Structure 1
Amino acid sequence: MLKSVLALSLLAPTTVLAQGVSSSADLLADAKDDRWSVGVAVAVRDSPYVGEGTRVRPLPLVTYDGDRFFWRGISGGVHLVQSEAFSLDAVLAGRFDGFDIRDLSRAGLARNGLDATILEDRDDALDAGLAASWRGSAGELKVSALADVTNASGGYELAVDYAYALQWGRTTVVPGAGVRWMSSDLVNYYYGTLDEEVRRGAPRYQPGSAVVPQVSISFSRPVGEKWRVLGGVDYRFLPSELTHSPLLEPDTNGSAGVRLGISRSF
């Protein structure tokens, strides 16, 4: 049975906008019954934030798939209900949408009407929630609901993802598509100006909730008996609520990411 690994961001989440719990697997684990795999990966994302440029992050690839518990990259959880065609999981997932103001361009922020000296960093977060998956000959559909339990933004996200695995020789290729609805608290925190920043003189920008579509394609290829090369690319289409943010580069329409890693199964 093919096992999928949750999204790794550049997240950052990716990034990421939320990394979330994606059916469009960014990395694929060994198709054998080995429960453990360990490896490393590099995630690269074109950041939409003013002057930040390209984010490059090394990531550990630690995967465990048990009968009850699982850990996949930067996410994990418990199988509440599990069968060949359906699973319901309680999950924890890292959200790496945060940034440090010092990594952004002061001149670029000024052109967007923001004074960097009165702005605050945005923190990464840990999300918790539920994810339900349906699997069959037509692919996999996953629906998830996650909320920020660290109170960085205090927001939540609802997501629907679809993926279909294709086999080309020894290589598995997984195209996928999904859409995420992000609550107003979540969007306002990562893409708007905070109340304390407004009190210091920043213009108020609180766009409210937003819908973010995404497409991706991932691959996995074995190298010998135990090793596997993994990778993927994705593109997130940013709606106007986000692209009009003064924290973002002007004329930004989306964000692209690339991941590449290697792992060994046990």
Structure 2
Amino acid sequence: MKKHLYTLTLTSALLLGTAGTAQAQGNFGIGLGLFNGSTEYKDIDTEVYLLPVLMYESESFSLSPTRGEFHLPVSSNMWVSAIGALRLQGYDADDSATFKGMDDRDIGFDLGASVNFYNDEIGFLSLEWLADVTSTSEGNEVSAIWAYPIEGKALTITPSVFWRWQSDDLINYYYGVKTNEVTATRGAYTPDSASTFGGALSLDYKLTQSVTLFSEISAYSLDDEVKNSPLVEDDKDMGYGASIGFVYSF
């Protein structure tokens, strides 16, 4: 299973969770989408996936395929959230020749919390902390997001930017090379913590009262601690993601 191909969906899920909370639509949605994301690992082809979309949003709870949040209001425009999220990173040793002789790197599960703010002038601001609770990477992640929805009669355009810090335990698990994994062409590698900057642009078009079309493009930088890994493509400085699809709301 090429788990590393899905890492970009985490960014999208974070943005969707923040926006969904503030809008508080209180509905269930099911749909279908095409998802494409680059991978930084060597010898892995970029692919497009057709995947189901399942979502639930209410005043106090939101749920997507990779993430669930419970929201507690602090004031009329601020709330805190308890978060549970899948970390869809990693690889199997048979995914490509790059990983031959490596141990598998598994999907993890994180718990954490966020502080969120919204008003019409500033948009959405969110500061989030997540920690692995499955003893997979035993790592931590801190993210900050700004998103500004521009709403029309049917079309909503949302530009956003984010910063993300990941601990050395997390980066080492997914990009490090242990001493028992060293070969003649792959040296040992123990990276430190890493930071990423990125941005996204999403468009949501309300086709009918129940059907919404969605699309998003995103791009992000790669930290030197990731780029210097012998598992990562040479001269790989950026990654990207793209999605398009529809959701039917009940």
Bin the TM-score by the shorter chain: 0.7 to 0.9
- Asked if 1:91 is matched to 2:83, the reply is yes
2:107 counterpart letter in structure 1: D
**Which stretch shows the higher mean deviation, 39-48 or 54-63?**
54-63
Over 3 Å counting, the alpha-carbon distance change for 1:73 and 1:129 in structure 2 is same
Write out per-residue CA displacement over residues 137-196 of structure 1, whole angstroms, 9 at most, x where no aligned residue: 211100000011122211010010101011344210111001111000100111111354
2:230 aligned partner? 246
Q: When the two structures are superposed, what TM-score results if normalisation uses the length of structure 2?
A: 0.88
Cα deviation for residue 101 of structure 1 reads: 2.8
- Which residue number in structure 2 is paired with residue 229 of structure 1? 213
Cα distance change of structure 1 residues 60 and 256 upon mapping to structure 2, 3 Å threshold: same
Q: Which amino acid aligns with 1:152?
A: T
Deviations 1:228-254 (A, max 9, x none): 111101111001111111101111001
| Residues 196 and 86 (structure 1), Cα distance of their counterparts in 2 relative to 1, 3 Å cut | farther
Structure 1 residues 204 and 49 mapped into 2: Cα distance closer, same or farther (>3 Å)? same
Residue-by-residue CA offset, 1:182-239 (whole Å, 9 max, x unaligned):
0001001111113542499952111110001111111100112210111101111001
Tell me by how many angstroms 1:10 deviates: 7.3
Shift of residue 25, structure 1, vs aligned partner? 7.1
Q: 1:154 aligns with which of 127, 130, 138?
A: 138
In structure 1, what is the equivalent of residue 57 of structure 2? 65
Match of 1:76 in 2: 68
Which position in structure 2 is the counterpart of 1:47?
39
Q: CA deviation at 1:131?
A: 1.1
Match of 1:264 in 2: 248
Change (3 A) 1:208 1:139: same
What RMSD, in angstroms, separates the aligned Cα atoms of the two structures? Answer: 2.7
Aligned to 2:6: 12
- How far apart, CA to CA, are the structure 1 residues paired with 2:127 and 2:54? 24
Q: What letter is aligned with 1:61?
A: V
Q: Which amino acid aligns with 2:7?
A: P
Letter in 2 for 1:63: M
Amino acid at match of 1:134: F
In 2, distance between residues paired with 1:20 and 1:153?
Answer: 22
Deviation (angstroms), 1:81: 3.1
Over 3 Å counting, the alpha-carbon distance change for 1:13 and 1:80 in structure 2 is farther
After TM superposition, the score normalised by the length of structure 1 is: 0.83
Contact 1:187 1:209 in 2 (8 A): yes
Partner Cα distance (2:160, 2:102) in 1: 37
Match of 1:178 in 2: 162
In the alignment, structure 1 segments of 5+ residues that lack a partner are 1-8, 110-115
**2: CA distance between counterparts of 1:259 and 1:24?**
13
Q: How many percent of aligned residue pairs carry the same amino acid?
A: 27
Question: Structure 2 matches for 1:137-152, cutoff 5 A?
Answer: 137=120, 138-152=122-136
Within 5 A, what are the aligned runs for 1:91-240? Answer: 91-104=83-96, 106=97, 109=98, 116-137=99-120, 138-198=122-182, 202-240=186-224
Structure holding more helix per residue: 2
Counting matched residue pairs gives 246
Q: Secondary structure at the match of 1:189?
A: helix
Instruction: Give secondary structure in 1 for the equivalent of 2:34.
Output: strand
Higher RCO, Cα 8 Å, sep 6+: 1
User: Which of 53-62 and 168-177 deviates more?
Assistant: 53-62
Letter in 2 for 1:247: L
Work out the CA distance in 1 between the residues paired with 2:47 and 2:168.
25
The question of whether the paired residues in 2 share the 8 Å contact of 1:20 and 1:146 is answered with no
Relative distance call for 1:73 and 1:173 in structure 2 (3 A) is farther
Question: Structure 1: how far apart are the matches of 2:52 and 2:242?
Answer: 15
